[in-house]
Structure formats: C-alpha cells, structure tokens
Amino acid sequence: MHDQVADGEAVLVLNAGSSSIKFELFALEGGGAVSRLSGQVEGLGAAPRVIARDGRGRLLVDRRWQQGEAGPTDHASALAIIIEGLDRAAPGARLLAVGHRVVHGGPDFAAPVPVDAEMLRRLETFVPLAPLHQPHNLAGIAAAAERFAGIPQIACFDTAFHRSHAWEADTFALPPQFHARGIRRYGFHGLSYEFIARSLAAEDPVLGQGRLVVAHLGNGASLCAIRDGRSVDSTMGFTALDGVPMGTRSGQIDPGVLLYLLDHDRMSSAEISRLLYGNSGLKGMSGLSQDVRDLEASDRPEAARALSHFAWRVRREIGALAAALGGIDALVFTAGIGENAAGVRRRICAGLEFLGIRLDPARNQANEAELSPDGSAVRVLMRRTDEERMIALHVLALLGRAGQAAAGPDQIRSQ
C-alpha cells in the first residue's frame, strides 16, 4: 500500500464479518474527515484475499494467498495485515479511536458506546439475538483492543437507529413480560438508514423532514419508514430473519410452519436455523444462487419465480410502511441490489402507481440518482449507502469532535 497519508489525526473503522474484515481510514483534515484508505481482508480460513484502495478509489493492493501459503486465518491475523497496510500508507497518522459495527445493541443501547472488557461481556449476551453477526463483530473488537492498546474502541449499533419506535411498532402481541425481557422488534441496518436519512437532510432539508421509505436491498434486505429523520418502523424484528426474503434468509414466515417442522418433520432447532438462515431466500427458492445477477441471467423458471416473489414482498412492505407514515414523499433504494439492479427496481415499482410511485425507464436503467420522472408526486431515488462513514461520524461525535461530525455525511467524502 502506498500513496502515504500526511501526519495527522485519524479514525479507523472496522466491520468484522464471519470470514472477513472491512476497514476504512478517515483522516481529519480541513474541518472534516476524508476517506484515505479502504478495503477488506476476506476468505479467512479458506482462500484469503486482501484488497485495498486509496481515497480516490485507485487499487493499491489485490493479493491472494494460494493453497498452502500462510495467509490470515482469523480476525487477529487479518487485523495484522490491515495494520501493516496502515503503517505503510499512513505512517504518521495518530489514531484517535477505532469504530466498530456491532449488529445488536439489545434494548438498552440507542447510541454508540466505548467498549472495555465489561462492556464486551455485556454485548456477548446479545449473541443469541444475532448469531450470524454478533460473535464476529465482537471478535473484531477484541482483536483491535489487543492490537491498539490504549486507543478507544467504539461500538456503533445497527439496532440503535430504531430505538425511536413507538410501543405499537416495537412490541409483539405477547404477554407484557416478554417485552420486558427484551423480546421485541429491534430492526437492523440502522447505520445504513441513518446515513441515508442524514445525507438526504443535508442535500434537501425539506425532503429530510419528509416521509421516506428506504429499501436497503442486498444479501441482507430490509425496509424502513423514516419521518423527520427518525425511524418509525422497519420490516426486520427480533432478529435479522424477519421481513422480506433475502439472499439466503427466509424473511417473514408463519410461526406455525416452524411448529410443524419441529413436531411433524422432527427437525432440530439447529436444522431449522440452517434452513432459515442459509438455505432459504433467493438461493433456496431458485435452487441456483443468491446473486440477483445469476438469477436474471438464468432461463430457469425457478430463478424467475424467486425474483418475482422477492419483488412482490418488497412491494407489499412499501405499501405497509407508507401506511405507517400516513403517506410517502420519497422511495429510496440503496445497498447492492437497490443501487445496481435496475430490473429488480422495475419489478418492485410496477403496481405502485396508486401511491404516486413511477420510474423513468431510462433513468432507472442508467442507475441515476433520481429514478422518477420530473414532477412526480413521489420521488424515487437511488442513493449509495456507506455504513463505515456513518460509524466514523458517530466516533467523532462521541469524542467531542463536533467540528468534524456536526455537518453530517457531506463532510466525510473521498479525497
């Protein structure tokens, strides 16, 4: 990694997954924070690969380890690779803090928090609520705390943005003691939704105070109703299984189906978990792939049906969230599918004309920021989300660096 960063203060953001760590370094310059280095170490334990780009998006490193080579195998060794790159690309950077994405903050955490050993143990109690994500998020924190001794580790929660929900949107129709125990609708992808909400408010203050339905559609998918920059409702609930179908996850399912599988098919909870988390959604329905590009290129009827079902469920949730808001001023598509899959957006919007939602075919095909015709009653937008930038904003605010954080996401941009 080259293209060195000048001496100065910086914030490192880490997003640890099951077999990868994404990273981004933000340098504090000119009253704002500038992305200087980003990338990821992926394929941990299998076929490791490190990719890094500078603040202009230029590729600096793309290294793969061949079978038999001693590559990174876990979060600690992946972090060592990242640190080596930081030492080369930003030798004079003074790290203020490390910000981490943590999927679940439970009922208590509605804002970022510094993490010490005691806090780490507390966050481990939420592992059963996010078994695919939380353990790896916390492993990333533990590895960073060991490598960056004395530097604050800040946890930023995907659930925090949704803690503004009213009781009616937060509860299940169960006896009250279950809600008191923390069995409630949390919502996820909050860092993405918060970034979109803040960005739109900076871009257009009137729209930022309006009624937005944001569709975060990627391998994990959900939708959120936002009014005046605050989450009103979300399609995900107690876990990241709820809501619309996803790449490999089922989305909403009649709980009676699970009882049937337990009692009639004698499936274990572990078998049901593997079914719902890893073998359902687009992959399970198509029998082919969880990748929308593969499904759109396929002539198999199962692939077409999977895409049709996905679009149907997303379209239905848009209507439900518009009802929760009492109307809709803009529909915003984001994340991998939402930002790039013109065909999926077209399928979703077909039939929503009664809400005032229409697509301009040419704009949609070109993945433009404005997808609806000029003068539409409801604007349809495509906006690129950036959870790492949102985490950096939170870290700066928590550190009291209001000058770098107060202006919003427009102050965190590429060089």
In 10 A of CB 376, how many CB atoms? 16
Supply the CATH classification number for the domain 8-157+387-414. 3.30.420.40
State the pLDDT at residue 158. Answer: 94
How far is residue 193's CA from residue 16's CA, in Å, rounded to a whole number? 19
State the pLDDT at residue 403. Answer: 57
8-157+387-414 and 205-382 have identical folds: yes
How far is residue 378's CA from residue 332's CA, in Å, rounded to a whole number? 10
State the pLDDT at residue 165. Answer: 95
Q: Please answer whether residues 384 and 339 qualify as being in contact, where contact means their C-beta atoms are separated by less than 8 angstroms.
A: yes
State the pLDDT at residue 395. Answer: 94
CA separation (Å) from 243 to 54, 250, 394? 36, 8, 27
Tokens of 59: 């590729």
State the pLDDT at residue 3. Answer: 44
What's the pTM? 0.90
Q: Running along the chain, 415 residues long, what does each successive block of 10 average in pLDDT?
A: 58 83 87 84 80 85 78 79 76 86 90 92 89 86 86 95 95 96 94 96 95 96 97 95 95 97 96 94 95 95 97 98 98 96 97 96 97 96 94 91 52 40
Computed over its alpha carbons, how large is the radius of gyration of the chain?
21
Positions marked active-site: 158
Domain segments of the chain: what residues?
Answer: 8-157+387-414, 205-382
How far is residue 303's CA from residue 367's CA, in Å, rounded to a whole number? 23
State the pLDDT at residue 402. Answer: 55
Tokens of 120: 């780490």
Q: Cα angle at 391 between 317 and 6, to 5 degrees?
A: 145
Supply the CATH classification number for the domain 205-382. 3.30.420.40
State the pLDDT at residue 5. Answer: 47
